Structure 1
Amino acid sequence: MLKRKTERHGGLKALNALCAMVLLLAGLYLLFAGYQLGVVVAMAFAAAGIAIPAAMGESGMLEILMAMFEALIEGFMVIVSAILKAISSLTG
């Protein structure tokens, strides 16, 4: 059964945003600069930073995957929101 969504703690949102930004930047670096072990390690740690809290709070495999996807999207949304707030504060 689907559970009612609970609000995440602020520290968890910050971790999701940080891991999402590391994954995005490391992916772009790999795309343009090529393979380097340090970048791959950073991507692995960022993926673990998203996966471990999601796996600890959910029970089934599908719920864990959905929680990981939700955490990644939430991290990207926090980053975009911060950028838009910075732009609006400069122009407003």
Structure 2
Amino acid sequence: MEIDEKLLEKLQNLALIEIKEGEKDKLKKDLQNILQFFDKINQLDLTNVEPLFHPLSSGKLRKDEPLKTLTRDEALQNVKRKENGYIVGPRTYGD
């Protein structure tokens, strides 16, 4: 896969970022290197390799046991704005 201007523009729109002209060449090179690395991985013969449940084979997970939860008063103790037992956050839409 070739990284071209059209693909960079599409990625820029999807990521909601602005890629400056001076950054485009470096970004193209970096993305191309990442794709080449994945191509190398795809060439490996993994037929007898078992998938891992955890990235570390000796990973230990804690038991899933319920813990004591906060009461409403404890949860609201350090909140700046609260109303009727709920946290009031900033508006995200409208006036």
Name the structure with the higher helix share.
Answer: 1
Q: TM class, shorter-chain normalised? A: 0.3 to 0.5
Specify which structure has the bigger relative contact order, considering alpha-carbon pairs within 8 angstroms and separated by 6 or more residues: 1
The normalised TM-score by structure 1 is 0.35
After TM superposition, the score normalised by the length of structure 2 is: 0.34
Structure with more strand by fraction:
2
Q: Larger radius of gyration, structure 1 or 2?
A: 2
